[in-house]
Amino acid sequence: MSKENNKISSSNAETPVMKCSWECFQWPTSYMKREVFKRGDVLFRIGDKADKMYYIKKGALKLLEINKVVREGEVIGEMGIFSPYSQRMATAVCEEDMEVYTLSKEEVVKLFSKDATVATDLMHLSCQRFTENLRRETEAKERIKSELRIATQIQLSMLPRKFPPFPDRGEFDIFASMVAAKEVGGDLYDFFFIDGNRLCFLIGDVSGKGVPAALFMAITKTLLKTEAKHGLKPDEILSRVNNTLVPDNDACMFVTLFCAVLDVRTGKVEFSNGGHNPPLVLRGKTFEYMQVPKGFVVGAMEGIKFIKGEYILGPGDIIFLYTDGVTEAMNPEDELFSERRLKEHLSKLTDKSVEEIVEGVKDEIKLFVRDREQSDDITMLALKFRGKRR
């Protein structure tokens, strides 16, 4: 369509120009209804029938659900008037006083009979806008995918992945795994010696998704290791990390953590729980959930007091840590893998190595969820106490 044909045919019509990236369209306001709105007025709500288009002569409005501002010289809703059953995808609220010109579906039909050129141009414009919106949506999705890939790389690069990590230490075996979701949740785990006889091991789950969660995870993990290396008790570690995170935490993120310190000579485990899932312990032939205080999450409120608990591991005992991506994994019937299923399956793996236990649970989750897309990181850590050097 040529630019010459992209004019309204009525000589007495007012012709405001739409600001757009394609060839400009001159709006037939002589055929349109003038309406005035005040700041704060709601033009339409999400889910309403999309039966009217709006050309903004003056002012601006905000589409709340997608956080987009539509300004003077722009138009919204023209796709809806050509779609019989379409609904509003967002709520429109006036950012300031507005003067708009509107066309309903019925008025568009009348316009076709009065001025076929303008009506045809309207349809042409709608197709162009649809193509442009689709392009922008595709670009946005690609940006999100790129962010998620970066977040996954940040997570994986921060986690120990060499096993066995301490081949010269025979007092224990340890294995951990994280399967990152497409929407990254910021899971973390770590283990390291504080001194020659004390091993710190921990697991956590950051609130939120994507790159912000991954970065918060990286900061948290670094702080945990720094504080633990001072020889502090687990409750003191969580307290100091919490008080460091809170002051500059403008995004109001937080992390659930279970932090423990094992004395490899005696099997004594000192631990503190920051709002995380309770571990399971194998003593004998079945896994059982540890009775641990729930505790408060880390990073949300300054001055929180964390509680220290103790547990004694005997030779052959296993402690199993996990994040809620395990128990909240969901199958196509919207059923959760659940704490019950986790306990039942772990109790079938009591004669396995720590690596086989973690991989066995991972395989069971895959069978359970089938083709349901993973929505959260699945992270596990298993430690078996042997009690003596090999």
Over the stretch 305-319, which tens digit does the pLDDT of each residue have? 999 999 999 999 999
Q: Are strands 308-312 and 60-63 parallel, antiparallel or unpaired?
A: unpaired
Range of lowest pLDDT (4-8, 28-32, 117-121, 187-191): 4-8
Identify the residue with better confidence: 347 or 52: 347
Q: What pLDDT digit, counting tens, does each position of 243-287 carry?
A: 999 998 888 899 999 999 999 999 999 999 999 999 999 998 899
Least confident of 82-91, 194-203, 278-287, 329-338: 82-91
User: What's the Rg (C-alpha) of the chain?
Assistant: 30
**pLDDT greater than 80 at residue 359:** yes
Q: Which residue has the higher pLDDT, 310 or 17?
A: 310
Q: Which pLDDT value is given to residue 250?
A: 81
Q: What is the mean pLDDT of residues 56-79?
A: 87
Beta bridge partners of 36: 99
159 closest CA partner among 220, 246, 210: 220
Q: What is the mean pLDDT of residues 121-143?
A: 70
Average pLDDT over residues 157-167: 92
Q: What is the pLDDT of residues 372-388, one digit of tens each?
A: 999 889 999 999 999 87
| pLDDT at residue 4 is higher than 60 | no
CB atoms within 10 A of CB 312: 12
Q: How far apart are CA 55 and CA 32, in angstroms?
A: 9
Confidence of residue 19 (pLDDT cuts 50, 70, 90): very low
Peptide bond between residue 315 and the one before it cis (omega within 30 degrees of 0): no
